[in-house]
C-alpha cells in the first residue's frame, strides 16, 4: 500500500496536470458550437434548405428572426445573415424556439458522444471485473481515477454527463414541453449501469466524480458528515432544480455547474468546481453527496442493484475495519442492515480491509470457509 507521502506525491501532481490539460484544450470545446452552427457549408445553403434541415418552416424562421416578409428564401443563408446583421447565436436561438428537439440534436457532437458512451461501457465492465476478482490496491484505484478524469473530462469534455441528463431534460420540458429522446436514452443507460452494478459508473466513470475521488486520496484529516444532513441538502437541491426548471422555467444549475471546469468557459462554474475540489480534501465527494441530482436518483435505485457489496453476517467478526476504511457511512448502514444506507461508490476500500473475507462484490455474500465455525456474536 502507498505511504501517505507517496499518495500525496501521486495525487496532487496528477490533479494539477488534469486541470492544466483542461485549460490547454478548452478553446476547442468553446468554439465547437459556433463552428458547427456557422460552418462554410451551412452558409452556402439556401435559407429554405437550412430551415428544412433544422426541421422548421422557412417562413416561420424568417418571421422569428424579424426578416422582411418579401425576403427571397432561396438566397444563401450566409448572404441573408450578412445583409441583416444576424449573428449565429440569434439563428440558433430562433431555431431552438421553433423546434427545440431539432436544435438540441444539431448542437451535439454525436461522434464524440458515441465514443464516450462506448468507453464508459468499457470502464464499467472493467471495474466490475476488478471489484469481483481483484484485490484493488490504492495505487491501482488512484491510477484508474486519474485515467477516467483524463479520458471522460479533459479529452471528451463536459457532455454528456449523468446529472445533465436530468437537469437539461427538466429544463427543456419546462421551456418547450418536449422530451429530447437521445437524452432520455442516455439517462436510461446510466440507470441500467446503476441497477446492474450499483454506483460503479459514478465511482469509476463520472468525469467530475472521479476527479473529486482523486483529490480525496491526499492524506489529510477528513470529516464524514451525517447522512441525514447530506441527503437532506441533496434532496432540497434536487427539488429546487426541478421546481425552477418546470415552473419558471429557469436553469439554476447551469451557471454553477462544476462539470464545466472541463471547458473553463464560465468563471463562476469553474470557481465552484475548484471550491468543491478543495472541500473534497476534507469531505468525500462533496458534490456527489450534497448536490448531484443524479446522485440522489441513483442512491434510490441502489436498492435494486444486482451486484454490490455483500456481507456474510455470520462470518463477520464485527471489527469494523470496513467501516473505518469506507469514506462515507455506507458500510455502517450496510452492516446494520438499514434499507436506505448511504451511497456506496464502489471504491473497493472495504473489500481489501476485511480480515476474514466476510465481504464480496457480487450477487450474493461470500460463503463461509469450510471447517470454520461462525464467530460468536
Q: What is the per-residue DSSP string for 129-171?
A: HHHHHS---HHHHHHHHHHHIIIIIIIT-S-S-HHHHHHHHHH
Per-residue model confidence (pLDDT) at position 373: 53
CB 162 within 8 A of CB 201: yes
Give the integer Cα–Cα distance in Å for 246 and 7: 45
pLDDT digits (tens, 9 = 90+) for 146-156: 999 999 999 99
Let me know: does 260 contact 318? Beta carbons within 8 Å: no
What is the pLDDT, as a whole number, of residue 2? 42
Helix or strand or coil: residue 362?
strand
Domain range annotation of the chain: 4-33+109-300, 36-106, 307-362
pLDDT of residue 1: 38
Model pLDDT, residue 217: 95
What is residue 54's predicted lDDT score, i.e. its pLDDT?
Answer: 86
Half-sphere exposure of 266 (CA within 13 A, CB side): 15
Regions of the chain short of the pLDDT cut 50: 1-12, 14-15, 17-19, 21-38, 374, 376-377
Asked if 46 contacts 80 with a C-beta cutoff of 8 angstroms, the reply is no
**Backbone φ and ψ of 144, nearest 5°:** -75, -30
pTM, to two decimals: 0.82
Q: What's phi and psi for 308, nearest 5 deg? A: -165, 180
Residues near 67 by Cβ (< 8 Å), separated by ≥ 6? 80, 84
- Cα separation, 307 vs 347, in Å, equals 14
CA distance 329 to 114: 36
Span 307-362 CATH architecture: 2-Layer Sandwich (3.30)
The string of pLDDT tens digits covering residues 104-119 is 888 889 999 999 999 9
Contact indicator for 160, 186 with CB cutoff of 8 Å: yes
Q: CA 30 from chain center: how many Å?
A: 19
Q: Which long-range contacts (CB under 8 A, 24 or more apart) does 93-99 make?
A: 94/61, 94/64, 94/65, 95/54, 95/56, 95/61, 97/64, 98/56, 98/57, 98/60, 98/61, 98/64, 99/54, 99/55, 99/56
DSSP 281: T
Which class for 123: exposed (0-12), middle (13-18), buried (19 or more C-beta within 10 A)? buried
Eight-state DSSP code of residue 374:
P
CA distances from 50 to 129, 146, 326, 351 (A): 48, 42, 55, 57
- 347 vs 363: CA distance, rounded Å: 17
Amino acid at each position: 500500500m502507498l505511504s501517505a507521502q507517496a499518495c500525496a506525491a501521486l495525487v496532487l501532481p496528477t490533479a494539477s496536470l488534469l486541470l492544466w490539460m483542461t485549460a490547454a484544450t478548452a478553446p476547442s470545446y468553446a468554439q465547437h458550437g459556433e463552428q458547427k452552427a456557422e460552418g462554410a457549408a451551412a452558409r452556402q445553403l439556401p435559407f429554405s434548405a437550412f430551415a428544412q434541415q433544422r426541421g422548421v418552416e422557412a417562413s416561420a424562421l424568417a418571421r422569428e428572426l424579424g426578416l422582411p416578409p418579401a425576403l427571397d428564401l432561396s438566397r444563401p443563408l450566409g448572404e441573408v445573415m450578412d445583409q441583416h446583421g444576424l449573428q449565429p447565436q440569434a439563428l440558433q436561438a430562433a431555431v431552438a424556439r421553433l423546434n427545440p428537439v431539432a436544435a438540441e440534436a444539431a448542437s451535439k457532437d454525436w461522434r464524440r458522444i458515441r465514443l464516450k458512451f462506448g468507453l464508459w461501457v468499457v470502464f464499467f465492465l472493467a471495474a466490475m471485473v476488478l471489484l469481483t476478482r481483484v484485490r484493488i490496491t490504492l495505487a491501482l484505484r488512484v491510477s484508474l481515477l486519474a485515467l477516467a478524469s483524463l479520458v471522460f473530462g479533459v479529452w471528451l469534455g463536459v457532455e454528456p454527463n449523468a446529472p445533465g441528463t436530468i437537469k437539461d431534460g427538466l429544463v427543456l420540458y419546462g421551456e418547450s414541453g418536449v422530451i429530447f429522446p437521445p437524452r432520455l436514452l442516455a439517462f436510461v443507460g446510466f440507470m441500467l449501469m446503476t441497477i446492474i452494478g450499483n454506483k460503479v459508473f459514478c465511482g469509476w466513470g463520472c468525469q467530475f466524480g472521479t476527479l473529486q475521488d482523486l483529490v480525496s486520496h491526499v492524506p489529510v484529516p477528513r470529516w464524514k458528515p451525517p447522512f441525514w444532513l447530506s441527503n437532506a441538502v441533496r434532496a432540497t437541491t434536487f427539488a429546487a432544480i426541478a421546481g425552477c426548471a418546470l415552473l419558471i422555467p429557469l436553469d439554476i444549475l447551469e451557471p454553477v455547474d462544476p462539470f464545466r471546469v472541463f471547458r473553463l468557459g464560465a468563471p463562476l462554474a469553474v470557481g465552484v468546481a475548484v471550491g468543491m475540489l478543495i472541500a473534497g480534501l476534507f469531505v468525500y465527494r462533496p458534490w456527489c453527496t450534497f448536490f448531484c441530482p443524479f446522485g440522489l436518483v441513483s442512491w434510490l435505485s441502489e436498492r435494486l442493484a444486482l451486484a454490490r457489496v455483500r456481507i456474510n453476517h455470520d462470518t463477520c467478526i464485527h471489527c469494523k475495519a470496513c467501516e473505518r476504511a469506507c469514506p462515507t457511512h455506507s458500510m455502517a448502514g450496510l452492516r446494520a442492515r438499514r434499507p436506505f444506507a448511504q451511497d456506496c461508490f464502489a471504491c473497493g476500500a472495504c473489500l481489501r480491509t476485511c480480515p476474514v473475507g466476510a465481504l464480496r462484490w457480487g450477487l450474493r455474500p461470500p460463503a463461509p470457509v469450510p471447517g470454520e465455525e461462525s464467530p460468536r456474536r
